[in-house]
Structure 1
Amino acid sequence: MNSALVMEYIKRRMIELGHGDRYNVLFRHIVLGSGSKIEIVAYNELWVLIEPVEMVEIISASGFFDLSVNLSNELQYEHTGVIEIKSYAGDRPIHVRFVQAVPK
């Protein structure tokens, strides 16, 4: 997914969620060490994964994203609520890039 598509998607979703154009956009580049896990509290926010990432599991109120699991017919790029990001890449760091929309 390219950045222009992500920005247009966020613009449309924030209008749908009732925020109009009253939000800030942040680019978030998260680096996870081997086997590490982080939790992001993102209630009332919108996080959109910019690109697919291997060896990472992302679970949120919106769904999950994990390229190695065949539990679903669809992987979610949009995440909200509590977002858990877990690396299972062994000994190498994993880079996960999001665009975050935060209502003003």
Structure 2
Amino acid sequence: EGPVQVRMALKKAEKEFELRSNWSVPETLQKWLQLTHEVEVQYYNIKKQNAEMHLAIAKDEAEKIKKKRSTVFGTLHVAHSSSLDEVDHKILEAK
């Protein structure tokens, strides 16, 4: 429903532009463009927050592995665990 109305408003605006030399954005189109922009900004911010959260988790996991490696038994445990795979997966999620 929304995208169709935006397309119709754009077509109407194009026709008006062709007819007028001192063209201005129709109020309806202006409202749709503003709403679309606001929704896109919110979506971007949510995606950015999620990516930052995944990155922080991955960094934390990597730091834990680094600490485990510093102990004698930790090196053996890290080498035979799936911790590295989990961190790799979390880094990919953050991307």
Per the TM superposition, whether the score is higher than 0.5 is no
Higher-Rg member (1/2):
2
The structure whose residues are more often strand, as a share, is 1
